[in-house]
């Protein structure tokens, strides 16, 4: 029999690196290190790439537990694109309804809604701040070398 027998599992993202970007800079391809936990309790570490066909794929952040699929024979791993945690579309839908709900609240209602409570937004913000700090550090080092 040809092909792989993909089996569902859970994966914790350990690390991430960008391995390529489209010429326009709009899309990055990444590799991830993921600790995989199978339904039988087996654990192993694997490298996973951004899916090639990933219309609504939202790359996970280090520390996230996400759905993965693995081949028991080869231990090759891929992201489970049906996992809502990896779907930009699934992420946007409740945020839209929260926005509409906030609009229908009386003036002076508490500020925040789902954006203030969403732990993923805090992770995204922390990631972005780390990226900006790293960029500033590289620029400072480049300036010293001149």
**Residue spans of alpha helices (H) in the chain:** 88-103, 113-117, 119-144
**CATH fold for the domain made of 7-86:** OB fold (Dihydrolipoamide Acetyltransferase, E2P) (2.40.50)
Please, are residues 11 and 77 in contact by the beta-carbon 8 Å criterion? yes
Domain boundaries along the sequence of the chain = 7-86, 88-105+112-144
pTM above 0.85, yes or no: no
Please, are residues 55 and 21 in contact by the beta-carbon 8 Å criterion? no
Q: Identify the pLDDT of residue 122.
A: 67
Average pLDDT over all residues of the chain = 81
Region of poorest pLDDT, from 95-99, 114-118, 134-138: 114-118
Q: Identify the pLDDT of residue 114.
A: 47
Please, are residues 49 and 20 in contact by the beta-carbon 8 Å criterion? no
Q: Identify the pLDDT of residue 13.
A: 95
């Amino acid at each position: 029999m040809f092909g792989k027998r993909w089996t569902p599992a859970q994966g914790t993202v350990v690390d991430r690196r960008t391995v390529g970007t489209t010429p326009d800079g709009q899309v990055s391809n990444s590799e991830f290190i993921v600790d995989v936990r199978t339904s039988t309790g087996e654990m192993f570490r694997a490298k996973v790439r951004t899916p090639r066909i990933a219309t609504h794929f939202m790359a996970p952040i280090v520390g996230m537990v996400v759905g993965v699929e693995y081949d028991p024979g080869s231990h090759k791993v891929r992201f489970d694109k049906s996992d809502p945690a990896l779907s930009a579309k699934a992420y946007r839908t409740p945020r839209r309804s929260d926005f509409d709900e906030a609009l229908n609240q009386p003036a002076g209602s508490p500020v925040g809604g789902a954006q203030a409570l969403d732990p993923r937004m805090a992770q995204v913000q922390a990631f972005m701040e780390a990226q900006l700090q790293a960029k500033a550090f590289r620029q400072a080092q480049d300036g010293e070398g001149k």
